[in-house]
Amino acid sequence: MDALVCLLQLLLLLLTLPLHLMALLGCWQPLCKAYFPYLMAVLTAKGNRKMERKKQELFGQINRLTGASGKVALLELGCGTGANFQFYPAGCRITCLDPNPHFEKFLTKSMAENRHLQYEQFVVASGEDMRQVADSSMDVVVSTLVLCSVQSPKRVLQEVKRVLRPGGLFLFWEHVAEPRGSWAFLWQQVLEPTWKHIGDGCCLTRETWKDLESAQFSHLQMEQQPPPFKWLPVGPHIMGKAVK
């Protein structure tokens, strides 16, 4: 099986050789950073229509954290275009974090369309290094389709626990690998080296549930969902919550 994966990866590399050469020469990444927000704007709009009920269910849990002030401090990792904003309840004070500065104009548009939220700031940083966010300063941290593309999911989860207040919620929706040994997993292995360039670092074969289970949250709850787009190579999704 491993030999077959290597052979198919090589064939795909030859078919997409210009892309890999551009990446090797450092030309592809700046181009990807510029076009990726436009791609995500299209996909997330379609995804929201397919997942509306489940997202309402996931983010509806934020209501239980609203105290006497009626405010909730919320940090969204890899905020992208702000596709989740419409699902957040009124009173959320939103801090957005993303390593790609090209998303900011999309965020500005999304905040203008969601006046029930209070926009705090846009932090250009990776999830592994959120030093601009203070310890125990957030009631909620949100991550949707983010842990697939970070360098170290374990380090990101450590940072999530650091910035959450005791009892704070980490809400997640992430795509994960297909079952090992399946043909679907084989094709994910074949496509991953090329897909990572197309998807701005997205890894298809991450078993993110293992990182969540080993992160030592006080409580972890998750369920598996089928992928919303059958024509994409991303596998099943996991959604749920973790409590600090």
pLDDT digits (tens, 9 = 90+) for 3-30: 888 998 999 999 999 989 998 998 888 8
Distance between CA atoms of residues 113 and 132, nearest Å: 26
For residue 80, the surrounding DSSP H or E stretch is none
The domain defined by 27-61+70-243 carries CATH number 3.40.50.150: yes
Burial letters for 201-229: b for 16+ Cβ neighbours within 10 Å, e otherwise? bbbbbbebbebbeebebeeeebeeeebbe
pTM reported for the whole predicted model: 0.92
Give the amino acid at 99: P
Radius of gyration of the chain (CA): 18
What is the β-pairing status of strands 237-243 and 219-225? Answer: antiparallel
The DSSP output letter for 101 is: G
The per-residue pLDDT for 67 is: 67
**158-212 pLDDT tens trace:** 999 999 999 999 999 999 999 999 999 999 999 999 999 988 899 999 999 999 9
